Copies of this chain bind each other. A is one copy, B any other.
Amino acid sequence: MTRFIKKATEKIGLHPGALIHVGEKKVDKTRIRIIDYSENQLEETEVNTIEDIFPYRDKNNVTWINIDGLHDVGVMEKIGEHFNLHPLMLEDILNTDKRPEIEDYGEYIFMVIKMLYYDEIEKIVKVEQLSIVVGNNIVFTFQERVGDVFNPLRERIRKGKGRLRKSGTDYLAYALLDTIVDNYFIILEKFSDAIEAIEDELINSINKNTIKEIHRMKREMVFLRKSVWPVRELVNGLERSESALIDESLSIYIRDLYDHTVQVIDTIETMREMVSGMLDIYLTSASNRMNEVMKVLTIMASIFIPLTFIAGIYGMNFEGMPELHASWGYPFTLSLMLIVAISMILYFKRKKWL
């Protein structure tokens, strides 16, 4: 449940822009990695103190500053002060329960998006918040902990192939978003596999866990949807943005990104429908099983109860029961029982219960 709403009680009553980290502390130390590049140059460093990143403010190259770990409010305050980030923006970066969105602060474009990881052990989707601040020559990314999702992107910067090294911060921001959205497809594949596995179970051997699995799946879908749905608005906002920070030539890439996002959402909706369908199948098969149980009971009872009654009659101790003393009594009674039993069986056969 903590994935759905985070405790933010201590924030109430503070003035807007007050910096408080909402969420759990996921790393011990804030890690700051810098990649500074132009078409011909490339510098990659990891700095220890926040002051080391200040010089990059005034360089002309594209500088990507990636900050892992958000618990150190002091670091955030210094960055905000030196790079002139709006207090509300800083507040949102620290509030890891933020909804994905885009906000144009004039000098900077601010984007919040969710990175999703599939936890194979707990079988749940885990979420990390990524904040992207795009300036004129600088891009900040704020992550909750050290992740490896951007490693292929770093590799692309190093290799210098494609448009990336030749373009500005806007293309880097696009590449970051693209990487995140591509990553969503991996999550979807995991779910696709899981749905297939449950479907096999539904056909072959329903057990007590099947229904739990279906409900777990349904719930993860709710979570997935909540995380991904607003990304469409975000990308749409980026496309319609009139900010000078976003170059015209980028629009074809952003539209492509938009299409991918819509595809992710489409697939989630389709999966939701399939999971609902599985719940229906489970319920009908449960009802069918119940029916079968009832039929066995009814057949057994309906056959043997009349027979037992007949046996009961001739177990009575009345004196004047002529049948008891006739030689045909016992065989006749047994035959009668046989006839009753066969009639019942035929009756059930005609009703297609047997």
Please give the residue numbers on chain A whose beta carbons come within 8 Å of chain B beta carbons, in ascending order: 1, 4-5, 7-9, 11-18, 86, 88, 92, 97-99, 101, 103, 105, 151-153, 155-156, 161-164, 175, 178-179, 182-183, 185-186, 188-189, 192-193, 195-196, 199, 208, 211, 215, 218-219, 222-223, 226, 252-253, 255-256, 259, 262-263, 266-267, 270-271, 273-274, 277, 279-291, 293-298, 300-302, 304-309, 311-321, 323-325, 327, 329-330, 333-334, 353
Contacts and interface: CB of A to CB of B under 8 A. Distances in A.
A327 B322 CA distance: 11
A218 to B, nearest CB: 6
B319 A324 contact: yes
B314 A306 contact: no
B179 A293 contact: no
Contacts of A293: 291, 294-295, 298, 353
Given A185-B5, A320-B327, A274 B222 contact: yes
A300 B188 CA distance: 47
Contacts of A302: 296-297, 300
24 contacts: A4-B271, A5-B267, A9-B185, A12-B182, A14-B156, A15-B161, A86-B252, A99-B263, A105-B252, A211-B284, A219-B274, A226-B270, A286-B288, A293-B294, A293-B298, A293-B353, A297-B297, A305-B305, A315-B316, A318-B333, A319-B325, A319-B329, A319-B330, A320-B330
Contact of A305 (B86, B285, B308): B308
Given A296-B298, A318-B333, 4 more contacts: A11-B182, A11-B185, A103-B259, A312-B315
Contact of A311 (B5, B208, B313): B313
B152 A17 contact: no
Contact of A312 (B289, B311, B323, B327): B311
Find the residue from A97, A283, A309, A329 having the highest chain B CB count within 10 A.
A309
Nearest to A331: B320
